[in-house]
Amino acid sequence: MLAGTLLALLAAAGTALSAPTAGIPTAEAGRALISTLGESSTAGLYIDEAGSFVIPVTTDAAAAAVTEAGFVAKKVEHSTEKLNSIKARLDDTASNKFVGSAWHVDPVSNRVVISIDENLAKSPSLENLKTVASAFDGAITLEYVSGSFETYAAAVSGGDAIYTTQGRCSLGFNVRAGSTYYFLTAGHCGTVGTVFYRAQTASTANRLGAIVRRSFPGSDYAIVQYDAATTGLTSVGNVGTQDITAIGSAVVGQPVSRRGSTTGTRTGSVTALNASVTYSEGTVRGLIRTNVCAQPGDSGGSLYSGTTALGMTSGGSGNCQVGGTTYYQPANVVASLVGASAY
């Protein structure tokens, strides 16, 4: 079944109450306003097709405050508090049980969306997942996606990549903390102590550094500390020709680019935050979800918007011939573990 085909039609998520009347809003200002209003009267933040920042709300008072602050207010049924509670229950009860599933809170449809890959769609366990979803009174929507959810590591082959003795992945971002240089990539690309090289030949001359912190599953990140002899390689914080000057937080609807060693640079937009996906290795949570394609070897590669780093490629479904759904470990969460920043 084609990606995005819904098992159940999305219910109308609400009606826009008004257009913004104040100054130009920003994502940071929107998050601050949501924090003030509370998660019981708001339901997220996203950028609509017109490029406007939209804050869904559940009360008239919140709608008035949102409009006054210059954002578009949209009246909806379910609050962030309720939807996050449902997602948390799925994380607790469904993690590692339904391989080939993923779930996230979608602020646009005002639902928790469970994505089902082609393998799970053919599995007898699908009926069990439907039973789980039916217990939430219409707050969950099921959708089918093409392909199967998998991580994007690859066997050794040529390309713009980082290599271990086991395979090929992609470098995410170069960062530094004081005089210590690191790069960020995916956790499923190796374990603590795994050495990365800039070419297939595992020689001293090609050595970049080793993983010093790593998590997978649960999260999907690896922090690689450059060897002292190779810190000269980190003098540029670019992704290809794109200069990266900051590490930030993604917003639903935000235009993004992804760069990896198999498929190069691809573009799309953010479709969800704090998503969970269950690979054969286990469930990974807290991910950015996009409609950008990726393929094996792109694991660990860069997700960014303009000059801002957003995340590292974890996995997904589909490919760059038919399109796909992809998931990313947020870069700001990982960089903060070692007090690192972009440069």
Which residues are designated catalytic?
A: 188, 220, 299
Q: How far is 170 from 242, CA to CA, in rounded Å?
A: 16
CA-to-CA distance for 124 and 120, rounded, in angstroms?
8
Residue 128's identity, in one-letter code, is N
d(CA 221, CA 227): 19
In angstroms and rounded to an integer, the radius of gyration of the C-alpha atoms of the chain is 20
CA distance 274 to 286: 4
State which amino acid sits at residue 115.
S
Contact residues for 180 (Cβ-Cβ < 8 A; gap 6+): 225, 338
Query: In the block, which residue shows the tokens 């903390």?
Result: 177
Question: What is the CA 303 to chain-centroid distance, rounded?
Answer: 9
Name the 3-class secondary structure at 26: coil
